[in-house]
Amino acid sequence: RLVNIVAFGNERDGFSEDNQQPSLIWSYLGRSALISQIDSSLSASHVGNPVFTEYQACVFGNVRLVVHDCPLWDIFDSDWYTSCRLIGGADIIVIKYSVNDKTSFQELQDSYVPMVKKALNHCSVPVIISAIGARKNGVPCTCPLCTSDRRSCVTTSEGVQLAKELGATYLELHTLNDFYIQKYFGGVLEYFMIQSLNQKSSEKMKKRKKTQKCHRVQPPQLEQPEKMPILKGEASHYNADLHNLLCCCQCADVAFYPEDLSTAVEAHKIILCSVSHLFMLLFGVKSPSDAHDASLVQLAQSLFAVEEGNPFPSSSHAVPPCVPPVRVVVKDSLFCSCLPDILRFIYSGAFQWERLEEDIKKKLKDPEKTEHVLDKVKCILKTPGKLNTVKDCRSHQIKRLYNTSLRLFFNTPVLADVIFKIQGATVPAHRAVLVARCEVMAAMFNGNYLEANSVLVPVHGISKDTFLSFLEYLYTDSCCPASILQAMSLLICAEMYQVMRLQHICELYIITQLQSMPSRELASTSLSIVSLLKKAKFHNSDCLSTWLLHFIATNYLIFSQKPEFQELSVEERNFVELHRWPSNLYLKQLADYRNYIHSQKCHCTIM
């Protein structure tokens, strides 16, 4: 083991007559109890003086110590290569100077410290800066703020600043006696020696382990399985569907007229009642006694008049589709002129309040009239028993006004105009919602089909629970399957009625549930993934079928042990074998490695 120390600088005062004073390094080597077998030799001379003195000794009993003591800084000017080589091979660097030689210190600071920093080149070599001697103009200065000896001597603050610049340890040795040499300087130097030996020992151990690892037969590397295809969700078009319903006026069951009956604006009771208690009163969903708000009843009577039958007709049972729309006269002419804009606002989700304000302002061009109409709209939309403010009608607040929605009319006979018969049970529904949300039902109820003129519509091939979940999505734009099998049944129903977004939601649900299933549960489950795969293919769910094939291949060791694995077609089996994980190649390499380990009678590093 070896420790290299390089010392730079002259600790003797340039003006001192005592040139026989021993150097710091020689004093340490001669006095330390840890040093033995000291030998010294001089290098080639430079201008009559040796460039450096080399000392060799033993430290800590069996550690070889090599010290290069360079008293002249000129080595950096005359032989840059040698100086860089010395620093590059050093384990510890010692920089020494006399506190009474300000000129030499200034030269060191200005000229040679930058060279030392360049030679170190960010190496983590410990540096010790030793300020040697007692300042001759009085008591040795120990205060960093003292300026009494700043002109002739090197102050403590200047030495500390130099140490900070080099990231070094700063020592002041007032005299080279036993205390300063052995206890102070020697203690710090020996600490860094021990650190250097520990670091070398650690690096040697790492190198040995690395060498041993390189020569050892390594186990085969298991690659990550192939990435499965990613399914992206489809954005909701719920509000757009209802807005399109208003534009095409299919299945309209109410018509608004001005008092002169000159024009008509058609709409749908189910949509109007879903956002307004006033329309519930108007179309008989609620009675005046249930309103709990007399002002709402008065507004309904003052603003509208239902011409057919009772002003508050009862509509609790399904009505045949051939019944003409209910005629409602709008008594307020200003409100009637803005009714198309108001209906567009309601059908678009009733949250674009600023746009409604702008449209009415452009149409009426009168602030008072505009405010009058907007106040009527606020009263129509308000929740009974609560006071609406302008703030409540901002776009980010308006949705909070509605505690009613189409969900209230899901699976209820109120305003229903169609009844589905399924598995011996009946399910009421509303043609307007079905036509708006499902193109297949739009064609069924508006084309030359039997269902177009029938109130009772039979449904085959679907369970009642699945069909209810399907209708719930049409009404609410949300879907919460209870299991993977229910999601697959709902996916089949969505494919039958061509509701693609619901189909994608079911696909994502199935994938999410399977991905979160632990391997142990996947191995023991009675759920047939191959059966799901065949259903997905049969019902044109290409994304799900592709993902399920990748899922089977990725979990090959689990599914290959199940009886259902034999139900895969030849094409599907070839795909799974091609993309299986882990691969056949890895399993063969692993078997060969195990055989090698057993033949060597040693322990496997991965088993």
Separation between Cα atoms, residue 9 and residue 72, nearest integer Å: 6
For 443-499, the pLDDT digits (tens) are: 998 877 888 888 999 999 999 999 999 999 999 998 889 999 999 999 999 999 999
Domain identity same for 356 and 417: no
Please check the confidence at residue 260 and state whether its pLDDT lies above 80.
Answer: yes
Residues 177 and 30 in one domain: yes
* Same domain, residue pair 512 and 530: no
Question: Could you tell me how many residues make up the chain?
Answer: 607
pLDDT confidence of residue 144: 54
Residue 376 CB contacts under 8 Å (≥ 6 apart), including other chains = 299, 303, 332, 335
Domain identity same for 479 and 546? no
CB neighbour list of residue 5: distance below 8 Å, 6 or more residues apart? 25, 65, 66, 67, 68, 90, 91, 92, 93, 94, 189
- For the CA atoms of the chain, what is the radius of gyration? 47
pLDDT at 311: 41
Judge whether 363 lies within some domain.
yes
Do residue 65 and residue 197 come from a single domain?
yes
155 and 21, same structural domain? yes
161 occurs within a structural domain = yes
Q: Is the pLDDT of residue 78 over 90?
A: no
Q: CA 281, CA 298: separation in Å to the nearest integer?
A: 11
Closest by CA to 339, choosing from 439, 266, 278, 431, is: 266
**Residue with more model confidence, 165 or 531:** 531
More confident residue, 279 or 223: 279
For residue range 24-34, what is the model confidence (pLDDT) as tens digits? 888 888 776 66
592 within some domain: yes
Structure confidence at residue 381 as a pLDDT band (50, 70, 90):
confident
Q: Are residues 506 and 539 in the same domain?
A: no
What is the per-residue pLDDT for 48? Answer: 43
Lowest mean pLDDT among 134-148, 204-218, 289-303, 526-540: 134-148
- 151: Cα separation from own chain's centroid: 62
Q: Within this chain, do residues 449 and 466 fall inside the same structural domain, yes or no?
A: yes
Contact 1, 64 (CB under 8 A): yes
| pLDDT above 80 (res 10) | yes
Structure tokens at 561: 């042990």
CB-CB contact of 321 with 445 (8 Å): yes
Share of the chain above pLDDT 90, in %: 40
In a 13 Å sphere around the CA of 392, the CA atoms on its Cβ side amount to 15
How confident is residue 44, by pLDDT bands cut at 50, 70 and 90?
Answer: very low
Shared domain for 285 and 434, answered yes or no, is: no
Tell whether 315 is covered by a domain.
Answer: no
Q: Write out pLDDT tens, residues 261-309.
A: 889 999 999 999 998 889 999 998 988 887 777 888 899 999 999 985 5
Indicate the residue among 517, 541, 556 that finishes a domain: 517
Tokens of 536: 């997905």
CA-CA distances (angstroms) from residue 120 to 51, 94, 203? Answer: 20, 13, 20
508-516: average pLDDT = 94
Say how far apart CA 82 and CA 84 lie, in whole Å: 5
Tell me whether residue 328 is in a domain.
yes
User: What is the model's pLDDT at position 489?
Assistant: 96
Closest listed residue to residue 505, CA positions, set 519, 524, 486 = 486
Measured CA angle at 101 (ends 99, 104), to 5 deg: 115
Instruction: Examine residue 374 and state whether it is found in any structural domain, yes or no.
Output: yes
58 plus 179 within the same structural domain: yes
Residue 178: per-residue pLDDT: 80
Residue 265 sits in a domain of what CATH number? Answer: 3.30.710
Inform me whether the pLDDT recorded for 192 exceeds 50: yes
**pLDDT in the model for residue 104:** 87
Residues 602 and 467 in one domain: no
Top-confidence residue, 126 or 41: 126
Domain span holding position 302: 248-308+322-384+398-403
- pLDDT number for residue 146: 53
Question: Model confidence at 313, in pLDDT bands (50, 70, 90)?
Answer: very low
- In terms of Cα–Cα distance, which of 17, 54, 19 is closest to 39? 54
Read off the pLDDT of residues 123-143 as tens digits, 9 standing for 90 and up.
Answer: 788 999 999 888 876 555 555
Nearest to 176 by CA among 28, 7, 5: 28
Specify the higher pLDDT residue, 427 or 40: 427
Which of 517, 544, 563 marks a domain boundary? 517
Give the bridge partners for 329, in sequence order. Answer: 257, 305
Residue 35, pLDDT score: 64
- Residue 77: the pLDDT is 73
Mean pLDDT over all residues of the chain?
A: 83
Q: What is the CATH number of the domain that holds 119?
A: 3.40.50.300
Predicted confidence (pLDDT) per residue in 567-592, tens digit: 999 999 999 999 999 888 888 888 88
Q: Is residue 414 part of a domain?
A: yes
- Report the C-alpha gap between 207 and 390 in whole angstroms: 76
| 3-state SS assignment for residue 606 | coil
Residue 407 CB contacts under 8 Å (≥ 6 apart), including other chains: 475, 476
Count of helix runs (H) and strand runs (E) in the chain: 28, 16
241 inside domain: no
Residues 409-435: tens digit of each pLDDT: 999 999 999 999 999 999 999 999 999
299: closest CA among 320, 282, 316, 321? 282
* Total tally of structural domains belonging to the chain: 4
User: Which of 487, 502, 517 marks a domain boundary?
Assistant: 517
3-state secondary structure 425-446: EEEEECHHHHHHHCHHHHHHHH
pLDDT at 308: 59
Q: What is the mean pLDDT of residues 348-375?
A: 89
**Based on the domain organization, do 502 and 532 belong to the same domain?**
no
